[in-house]
Each structure stands twice: as structure tokens, then as C-alpha cells.
Amino acid sequence: MTEARKKITLPYLFDKAARNEPITWLTCYDYPTAYLQEQAGIEMILVGDSLGMTMLGYDSTLPVTMEDMIRHSQAVRRGAPTAFIVGDMPYMSYQPSVESAIRNAGRFMAEASCDAIKLEGGAAMADRIKGIVDSGIPAIGHLGLTPQSVSALGGYKVQGKSAALAKKILDDAKALEKAGAFMILLEMVPDRLCKLITEQAENCLIMSLGSGPEAHGQLLIYHDMFGLYPRFRPKMAKVFGNAGEVILNGLKAYHDDVIGKQFPQPENWFGMKDEEFSDLQAMLNPPAAEAEEKPRKKSKKNKIVKEQE
Ligand code: KIV
């Protein structure tokens, strides 16, 4: 991107979908990556609770707290001032009640300047979506493989393969749209089901994560795109660059350079003028007579001289 981009807004997203141009969406959890995503022109960023796995090393997303989410969302906003940032509501931040859902959704907006929130679940969560939307907060639903319910779903696998389960997901999408969700993410549902839901959506954008091309846009997990998650790589993730390998090679080279005394080189350290160093030596080793006359006082204040060479 050359020119500074205008803030991505809800009308921008709907206009783009109306022109049949796919919306770009990625997960992101930190400042430097957010900065790069903004430079690359990515329109939407999901500060996903997947950070529990990708950034914090848990086995699932369940231990992630609101404090974790707020901290990471704030960092992402600092790196991506114009992206449409979505805060992902962590486990048990909205399930207990509509009131808890509104309060925690509000925290994403007030404390981290998010543009919207996302939560998992279908018709059973429609009242949470309605409460949040009625409070003036744009809300996104998430159907199909919903990681917070991975135990109930029987693992990380495609959802809605049978006609009956596909119908349930379609009904859930309708319930979320009716409740006011402006967007629904379909994760790992069959492409034809995603197409059907997209065609039937009236005032709601449908996004695909591993659910095929016939949606209003695509989401990917950043760590899967760049080989940065060591435990597994889901089939739906295309690797756009192996940053994990590049970083690993760099780390090995650093290790070898240090033990081989090849690092640091003069350009990697800072020097001191000869006269200053001589003065320092004189201070530390005064002539014997002077040392007797003037016992060294405890230093009062160190003068800090900043030098950039
Ligand atoms: O937390 C997350 O990154 C998500 C994606 C898996 C959609 O919810």
C-alpha cells in the first residue's frame, strides 16, 4: 500500500460484498504482525482466542481469559489503526448470561478499540447476539467447527456433512442473522452448505474458514499460513511462506556464530573515545599519593553520556 488507508468500516465491508469482491480476514495477536497485516492491506483482523494455542501454548482455547484477549487486542489495534478489528469472546465470557455477554463485549470496544466482537454458537446464543447488538456493538456469529465446544463436537473435524446437521447449521445461521449478527463465520463446513447459506443471507455477510470459495470473504489463521504452529497444520490452511523455517535457520546461525565467536562484529557494538577511556582508567587507578590525600568518595551521581557511533 502506498497511500495511507481510510478506516475500514461496516459500510465498506457491505459495499465490497455487494460488488462481489471477497473480503480479506486474518487472525493476529501482536503489534508487529498487525503492522505488517495493515501494510499488506488486510481489511479485517480477528484477535482470536486461538491465541491460547498459537501464542500461549495451551492445548485448547478454553483457558484464555478476558484479560488475555484485551491485552492482545490493544497491541493489535496499536499496529493496525485502520483495520476492522474483531475481538473474539473467550470461553465463559458470554455463555453464562446475556448480561455477561454485553459487559464483556463492551470491554473489547472500550478498552481495546475493537470494531466488533465474535462469539461461537447458533440459536442457543441468539439472545447473547441480540443483547450485544441492542447495546450498539456489531456482532459476528461463528458456526460449524466451534473450538470452544470441541469436546462436544468430538474433535477438530468437518461439521454439517449429513443433511440433518447441515440443516441445523443453516437454521442456526438464520437465527443469528435474525438476532442482528452482521456477519457469520462458517468454519469447516462443506462448500455447498456454505454457498447455500451465503445465497440465503439477506443482510448478513458470510465468511469462510475452510468452507470453500462461495462466501463474501475468507479467513485464515496467520500461524497456519506461515508454518508458525508446530503441533499441526490443518488441511484448509495454505502455507504462503515458511516463516517458521526461516526463523529456525536464523536462530541456528546465531547460535553457531556466538559459539564460533563470529558474533558480535565491530558494527554490532558501541565504542568509547580514547580520552574518555583514559580518564576512566585514571579515576579507577589514581596515583598513590593522590589516593591517600583524597580517599575516594562514594559517587554522587553518574553522568550518563549517550553515544551513537
Ligand atoms: O480464535 C480463533 O482464531 C477463531 C478461528 C478459529 C475462527 O475463532
Per-residue pLDDT of the chain (309 residues; tens, 9 = 90+): 557 899 999 999 999 999 999 999 999 999 999 999 999 999 999 999 999 999 999 999 999 999 999 999 999 999 999 999 999 999 999 999 999 999 999 999 999 999 999 999 999 999 999 999 999 999 999 999 999 998 899 888 999 999 999 999 999 999 999 999 999 999 999 999 999 999 999 999 999 999 999 999 999 999 999 999 989 888 889 999 999 999 999 999 999 999 999 999 999 999 999 999 999 999 999 887 665 655 555 544 444 434 444
Same structural domain, 155 and 209: yes
Does residue 209 have its Cβ closer than 6 Å to ligand 1?
yes
- Using DSSP's 3-state secondary structure scheme, residue 283 falls into helix
Does residue 208 have its Cβ closer than 6 Å to ligand 1?
no
- Grid cell 497491541 is found at 75
8 A C-beta contact, residue 201 and residue 219 = no
Same structural domain, 153 and 302: no
Residue 257 lies in a domain: no
Same structural domain, 202 and 295: no
- Joined together, the cell numbers standing for residue 282 give 585514571
Residue 250 lies in a domain: no
Same structural domain, 285 and 166: no
d(CA 290, ligand 1 centre) in Å: 71
Residue 169 lies in a domain: yes
Backbone torsions φ then ψ of 51, nearest 5 degrees = -60, -25
The CATH number of the domain holding residue 162 is 3.20.20.60
Active-site residue numbers?
Answer: 187
Which atom in ligand 1 lies closest to the alpha carbon of residue 49?
1
Mutation test residue for ligand 1: of 37, 65, 85, 142, the one with most atoms within 8 Å of CB: 142
- The CB density around residue 81, as the number of other CB atoms within 10 Å, is 14
Same structural domain, 234 and 130: yes
Which of 195, 212, 239 represents a domain boundary (last residue)? 239
One-character DSSP codes across 113-182: --SEEEEE-SGGGHHHHHHHHHTT--EEEEEES-GGGHHHHTSS-----SHHHHHHHHHHHHHHHHHT-S
Residue 163 lies in a domain: yes
- The pLDDT, as a whole number, for residue 305 is 39
8 A C-beta contact, residue 201 and residue 191 = no
Same structural domain, 45 and 149: yes
Measure the CA–CA gap between 143 and 197, rounded to whole angstroms: 11
Which of 239, 263, 288 represents a domain boundary (last residue)? 239
Does residue 187 have its Cβ closer than 6 Å to ligand 1?
yes
Does residue 50 have its Cβ closer than 6 Å to ligand 1?
yes
Same structural domain, 172 and 302: no
Residue 5 lies in a domain: no
Same structural domain, 107 and 213: yes
Which atom in ligand 1 lies closest to the alpha carbon of residue 219?
7
- The pLDDT, as a whole number, for residue 254 is 98
Does residue 224 have its Cβ closer than 6 Å to ligand 1?
no
Same structural domain, 129 and 36: yes
* Domains of the chain: total: 2
DSSP state of 217: E
- Using DSSP's 3-state secondary structure scheme, residue 30 falls into coil
- The CB density around residue 168, as the number of other CB atoms within 10 Å, is 16
Same structural domain, 34 and 162: yes
Residue 194 lies in a domain: yes
Structure pTM?
Answer: 0.91
C-alpha 8, offset from chain centre: 17
Same structural domain, 280 and 226: no
Residue 251 lies in a domain: no
Domain range for 304 is: 274-308
- The pLDDT, as a whole number, for residue 291 is 58
Residue 215 lies in a domain: yes
Same structural domain, 301 and 171: no
Which of 187, 215, 239 represents a domain boundary (last residue)? 239
